[in-house]
Structure 1
Amino acid sequence: MNASKTSPDLSADLRAMTWRSLCHGVSQIFFQANPWTGLLILAAFAVGDLRMAILAAVGTILSTLAGCLMRVPTEGVALGMQGFNGCLVGAAVYAALGGQAWSYVLTVVGALLCAPVTVFFGWLLALPALKGFNLPSTTAPFCTVASILYAVSWDLHVAGSTKHVTDGAGDALARSFLSNVSEVVLVNSALGGLLILIGLFIASWRVGLAAVMGSAIGSLCALALGETTTTIEEGLAGYSGVLTAIALAVVFHHSSIASWCYAAVGTVITAVVTLLMNDATSFPHYTWPYILTTWVLLVVGARIPALRRT
């Protein structure tokens, strides 16, 4: 989150929590502040399961509220910058625990934890060794909180809590182009991916196109690297590449031929990192492949004249 002037009082922060800002909190998963994009992403959650959509919404609201209480800037609240990590925590809890009562308890706890964990990463990335690179915390707070919740709730896990919607017959590679997009939010559905992709094009054609590029490269790399057909089809090998492509092509660099080429390279690297993590552990690594790759490439990109940060 970019630094800005601290809000003068808590009431100003709370007034910034409108339906639009909460929808922004959902759309910021893909770096966008667009309410219609947020609503389409929520629809994609509902495709997975209505209870998943409810937990994602609860996570968004509570993490935004926690951000207000910790006095994050009003601009950040209005843009949804405190909501997206909590939204993903709600989705991750559902993916592990399903719709049982404990899912709601852990979503509340996890969403409230997102604010202080976000502050921690803001402090960490502002240390002298890293400050000059202006690295974003992005979804690192979500990954951290979700991993903790996953570990402490081990005995409560259920199998197949996320509905795997196949949407009919079709080639695994072709289906993965959409399921890569939906798996960013832990939903395995071509229809869910299509809804999200429509939302991204509504927000920005460049963002939508970057998502398509990241998904295609991610799937092709996974195939070339020998990932299983099931893993590719369900989007588990290519979802991080979607975020990497958007981040490097149009969000953290000025959109140019150089940034798009750089994003393509980053997506390939992300695919390799994903494969290594898949082979190393069965523990969910969420969006860490995207985060680690993007951090490293932002540091490297800061030394490349053709890549100018926005």
Structure 2
Amino acid sequence: MWMETKTEMEKASRSRASLSRRVLNGLMLCTGDMEHLDKYMQDKWFVLQLLVWGLRGVTRVILANNPLSGALILAALCWASPWQGLLGALGVLASTLTAVITGQESADVAGGLHGFNGMLVSLLMGVFSSAGDWYWWLLLPVCLGSATCVFLSSGLSTFLDHWDLPAAVFPFNIIIVFYLLCTGTDNPYFPHHPAVPPGALDHNDTKLVAVQVVRGIPLGVGQIYACGALGPSLLILGAVVLYSPLLAVHAVLGSAVGTLAGLSMAVRHESLYSGLSGFNGALGCMAVGGLFFTFSWRTHLFAVASAFFSAYADIALSNLLGTVGLPACSWAATLVATLMLLLTGSLAAYRIPIGQARAPEHNLRSRSQWEAGNTEERESTDV
């Protein structure tokens, strides 16, 4: 009797261990770049493929590449503002379809590389519009601006490929500035709010609230999608964790660094509280901290330096462009990340070619395997 009970307990234990292993393996399939999904979708309907491509484009905004993360981010945007969620979805759809129609590289389209600029353009048009939500005429420039990003991205990629540099969000930054310059604040059809420089005097200057400043750190991650609500911002951060915990850590660290830089420059309290001081720092930190450079203690410190550089550059550009009512968008992080990718010296050895960049954890494993292979090869050739 005792032996039978012991056998049953062992079987139950093995069953639980097997179930836990299957659940863990299932969760692991949902992390990282989910390359297995691309193979599965090859012979599926075009509409389903387009959905996956669009969701990858949604996550490319925050330097990730996971369709499940894209679904979470789109849900977060709809939670914060259904109108913004609609604009974002329309923007990524318009740019992705334009890339398909114009015959862009299929791997780039499938990887969402032609979707994220269009999404950013549509989101910023909605944020700066002073016509309010559900202003249907705004869909016209949203579609046209998002589609135009494909042509700019294609042209810039051809030029920047000579130095193995990404087009990144240069198309978005260019298109949104052109749109705001063309329309103006008093345009009868597409009016917009002028941008306020972060260094402008705060007329309602009060004592700084520490809790609000700390709250601005996760909001800095949400502001990458022009989202200023705490709950949706945390959901966006969760989507990054699903893709890569290491990338999420650098996102929060970079936003904190950007907030610290804003404090040191005494920017307006609203910039600190809303996360606007942190999002360029977050982007600069993520680009270096494991995405385009293999993670190590050297590149980690380099990522922190990149975050500081991006944050201070953003303050300078925002004050400069704010004098004519224009936002600095993500010019600072884009320019700084491009400069960092051109770096020479010992840190350049950690540089990952643009076409091979994956989730930071994957990059780290690949480098470890490569170094282990080189070590074995050297040992085998020793006499």
For normalisation by structure 2, the TM-score amounts to 0.71
Task: Report how far residue 236 of structure 1 moved.
Answer: 1.4
5+ residue gaps, structure 2: 1-42, 195-208, 354-383
> What is the aligned partner in structure 2 of residue 114 from structure 1?
149
C-alpha spacing 1:13/1:111, structure 2 compared with 1 (3 Å): farther
Query: Do residues 288 (structure 1) and 331 (structure 2) align?
Result: yes
Letter in 1 for 2:289: A
Where do residues 144-163 of structure 1 align in structure 2 (5 Å cutoff)? 144-154=174-184, 155=187, 156-159=190-193
Task: Report how far residue 178 of structure 1 moved.
Answer: 1.2
Task: Report how far residue 16 of structure 1 moved.
Answer: 7.8
Q: Which of 1, 23, 31 pairs up with 2:63?
A: 31
> What is the aligned partner in structure 1 of residue 125 from structure 2?
93
State the aligned residue count: 287
C-alpha spacing 1:14/1:120, structure 2 compared with 1 (3 Å): farther
- In 2, Cα distance between equivalents of 1:191 and 1:159: 25
- In 1, Cα distance between equivalents of 2:280 and 2:55: 22
C-alpha spacing 1:194/1:278, structure 2 compared with 1 (3 Å): same
- In 1, Cα distance between equivalents of 2:45 and 2:312: 41
- In 2, Cα distance between equivalents of 1:301 and 1:28: 26
Q: Which of 241, 265, 288 pairs up with 1:201?
A: 241
- In 2, Cα distance between equivalents of 1:265 and 1:54: 36
Q: Which one has the largest radius of gyration? A: 2
Task: Report how far residue 41 of structure 1 moved.
Answer: 1.5
Q: Which of 86, 95, 101 pairs up with 1:63?
A: 95
Contact 2:341/2:351 (8 A) holds in 1: no
Task: Report how far residue 43 of structure 1 moved.
Answer: 2.1
Letter in 1 for 2:149: C
Where do residues 122-271 of structure 1 align in structure 2 (5 Å cutoff)? 122-126=157-161, 131=162, 133-154=163-184, 155=187, 156-159=190-193, 171-271=211-311
Q: Percent identity?
A: 23
> What is the aligned partner in structure 2 of residue 5 from structure 1?
none
- In 1, Cα distance between equivalents of 2:79 and 2:316: 30
- In 2, Cα distance between equivalents of 1:244 and 1:179: 16
For residues 91-139 of structure 1, the C-alpha deviation after alignment (integer angstroms, 9 at most, x for no partner) is 011012243122101111011101101012113314xxxx2x3111111
C-alpha spacing 1:150/1:13, structure 2 compared with 1 (3 Å): farther
Contact 1:301/1:307 (8 A) holds in 2: no
Give the 3-state SS of the residue equivalent to 2:61 in structure 1. Answer: helix
- In 1, Cα distance between equivalents of 2:292 and 2:334: 13
Contact 1:23/1:80 (8 A) holds in 2: yes
5+ residue gaps, structure 1: 1-10, 161-168
Contact 1:92/1:146 (8 A) holds in 2: yes
